[in-house]
Amino acid sequence: MPNRARRIQSKSHKEDLLRKIWDKSAVSCVVGLGYVGLPLAIEQARAGFKVVGVDTNEFRAKMVQSGKSYLHDIPAESFQSLLKDKLSATASYENLPEVDIFIVTVPTPLSKSLSPDLSFLHRACEQIATILKPGQLVCIESTTYPGTTEQELLPILEKSGLKVEEDFFLAYSPERVDPGNKKFTVKNTPKVVGGLGTESLEIAVAYYSQFIDTIVSVSSAWVAEMVKIYENTYRSVNIALVNEMAMLSKEMGLNIWEILDAAFSKPFGILPFYPGPGVGGHCIPLDPHYLEWKARAINFNTEFITLAGKINRHMPSYVVGRLRELLDRAGNALSQSRILVLGVAYKKDADESREAPALDIITKLQAARADVSYYDSRIPEVLHLEQPLRSIELTPKNIQTFDAIVITNEDSNVDYSAVVTNGKIVFDTRNATRGVKAHRHKITLL
């Protein structure tokens, strides 16, 4: 087709899709209904768009379709009324209606060698390519390294025979979901958007602005990809700094928590970060590795970022070492001790243990032949080393049976005064016991 005819056709596709966006007749398909995809689908439906979620996990698709939630911070009541005519879910791409917009929110984990695993993204785009039609927009939200959208995903989508910016549109807009955060949601968290061209950017901005308050346009998908990687690498580096400060303060006989409370009283030039037993969750343990991998591919050495990751990965070993010292001081060998790990979620009041440092600590304690149990009010069972572990009941009688308790995550449902009263040794890596007044001699802080 001559270039002029293609430009006219592209303009027509763009105008048709913009019209559908503005009159809310555009149909959106959210690929992946996890902690990113489900709230994103709900927000679009609330804004008046028809949304279908597709997830190859049949359990998730059936739960949404039946008006039930599998995410702790997404109550079923928040989307049940939308199921009448705005929101639906399926486990098969074959069951999709006519779609105008695809938003991809699938996981991007690491391989065993700590390299990016884009297999979920590749499969999602391969599926989309088989049904891609002229005039559709594809937005990628999964966290990944700079260049992924253009170099990895665009070639897959163009196997459809369609050309970006001429037949279809492609953008990258990184997810910024913080599970459990009541203050910042999909709607009021600023949305960064970068396109594979000016037409793609314009359409993506037009769509996201229909249900998100603030849109931040950037010059390319590469920039948008780097924004997300920077955000989480920034957190990783600062957490590593405060973890190293905690270890140094201990050697100097200083209380890191007192130091931080005083330091954060400064109203400028400092942001609060706190030490802990390591980093966990969907982003911080993974994203810096994506950036390191891309840097190595262009022969750049990320010394600072790599060192931060090394410090954070060392923290579970450090915690076990400190716990061993506390037990030795009490005349107990770690190998003959009963240990309670308190909190296996990756952050305060979360209901997920993905990459949680507590799991690594449990592994190391078991390797030292300790008898290990855990309690978490929101996670009754975890799969650990391919074996199920079940949370105990946190009763005074049960607490008294343990030689030591290590607090690896803060849980609002736990009475820490009762834990300290009934426990023998309490090693608190999160300062969760800061409000406990009695028996403080039993508590050792990180």
Distances in whole angstroms, Cα of residue 222 to Cα of each of 122, 145, 172, 173, 204: 18, 8, 8, 10, 15
Contacts of 179 (CB under 8 A, 6+ apart): 35, 71, 72, 73, 350, 352
Give the closest residue to 379 by CA, choosing from 368, 369, 389, 387.
389
Give the closest residue to 189 by CA, choosing from 164, 161, 208.
208
**Phi, psi at residue 309, to the nearest 5°?**
-60, -40
β partners of residue 140 = 104, 172
Give the closest residue to 138 by CA, choosing from 29, 228, 57, 54.
29
Give the closest residue to 355 by CA, choosing from 345, 368, 367, 366.
345
Report the alpha-carbon distance of residue 30 to residue 141 in Å, rounded: 10
**Phi, psi at residue 251, to the nearest 5°?**
-65, -25
Q: Which of 29, 125, 139, 283 is labelled catalytic?
A: 283
**Phi, psi at residue 320, to the nearest 5°?**
-65, -40
Report the alpha-carbon distance of residue 395 to residue 422 in Å, rounded: 9
Judge whether 125 counts as a catalytic residue: no
The catalytic site residues sit at 283
